């Protein structure tokens, strides 16, 4: 881990690191907020997964999460949204929803993406192992995210409930097998095998496997992507069928932006802190 940037923030430290990511075959940057309590001993962590076009810096600079994380004694671990580098494949037409900034938190199996695009393995295994060996972290984890990152957070938690104590999301892509963003990404990264697609669909996973973790999802009612891309009703229906503990809140007047995230991030962090403290 190479330190590339650090600022004092609410008594803690906002840090940016760079490292060679074996699972992605490239150099990656990620951000970390360490609360002041980390000076005294290990603290639990909330992993945040960002959405399309974002880097690790969007959440750290726009969400205003550090104040509450400092109060609660929570570290924030914020990875990038895709592999990066000159030799990393990107969409030939420069589309925002495929390639760089759009890793969809899957393990790609199709060329040219399979050489680098293994964000599922990176977030689940490599990044936690790295930060927990180098930083004052307890190993207790919660996970959250926005849009594509909300999809990633839900999928990672549903497939690996033993790794997290709670999961939350803002405007997640709840049913990627049934929306344009998901179809484009899953077909490119995974090919035509719909069974492989289903392994990255939170609604299908929840319906099939259920979930023992507490789940909190906020969705803006004025979100332009609500009906076509996000489909929270599919997630709600799956939770009801599985008897899972999902709190899905439709927030009137809120859109898809970081203003929405900033408005409710405190509630999400307090939700996670409650479960991390058990």
Write down the catalytic residue from 146, 166, 223, 272: 223
Torsion of CA 75, 81, 87, 92, to 10 degrees: -170
Write down the catalytic residue from 146, 151, 256, 272: 256
Please indicate whether residue 223 is annotated as part of the active site: yes
Helix (H) or strand (E) holding 267: helix 258-276
Please indicate whether residue 168 is annotated as part of the active site: no
The sign of the dihedral angle between the CA atoms of 203, 237, 265, 224 is positive
- CA separation for the pair 217, 126 (Å, rounded): 26
The residue whose two tokens read 């609360």 is: 35
Please indicate whether residue 192 is annotated as part of the active site: no
Pairing of strands 75-79, 26-34: antiparallel
Coil/strand/helix, residue 50: coil
Calculate the CA 271 to chain-centre distance: 16
Structure tokens at 111: 């060329």
Write down the catalytic residue from 147, 166, 174, 175: 147
Cβ neighbours of 243 (radius 10 Å): 9
Which residues participate in catalysis according to the annotation?
A: 147, 223, 256
């Amino acid at each position: 881990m190479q330190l590339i940037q650090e600022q004092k923030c609410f008594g803690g430290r906002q840090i940016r690191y760079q490292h060679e990511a074996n699972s992605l075959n490239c150099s990656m940057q990620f951000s970390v907020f360490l609360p002041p309590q980390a000076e005294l001993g290990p603290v639990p962590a909330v992993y945040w997964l960002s959405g399309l076009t974002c880097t690790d810096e969007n959440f750290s600079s726009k969400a205003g999460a550090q104040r509450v994380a400092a109060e609660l004694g929570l570290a924030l671990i914020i990875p990038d949204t895709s592999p990066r580098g000159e030799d990393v494949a990107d969409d030939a037409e420069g589309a925002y929803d495929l390639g760089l900034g759009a890793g969809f938190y899957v393990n790609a199996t199709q060329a040219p993406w399979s050489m680098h695009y293994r964000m599922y393995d990176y977030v689940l295994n490599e990044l936690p192992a790295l930060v927990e060996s180098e930083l004052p972290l307890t190993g207790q984890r919660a996970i959250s995210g926005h849009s594509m990152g909300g999809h990633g957070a839900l999928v990672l938690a549903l497939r690996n409930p033993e790794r997290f104590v709670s999961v939350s999301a803002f405007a997640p892509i709840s049913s990627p097998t049934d929306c344009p963003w998901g179809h484009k990404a899953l077909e490119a990264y995974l090919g035509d095998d719909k069974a492989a697609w289903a392994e990255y669909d939170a609604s299908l996973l929840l319906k099939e496997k259920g979930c023992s973790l507490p789940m909190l999802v906020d969705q803006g009612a004025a979100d332009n992507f609500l009906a076509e891309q996000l489909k929270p009703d599919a997630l709600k229906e799956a939770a009801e069928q599985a008897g899972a503990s999902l709190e899905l809140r439709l927030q009137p007047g809120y859109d898809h932006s970081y203003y929405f995230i900033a408005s409710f991030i405190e509630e999400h962090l307090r939700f996670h802190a409650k479960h991390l403290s058990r």
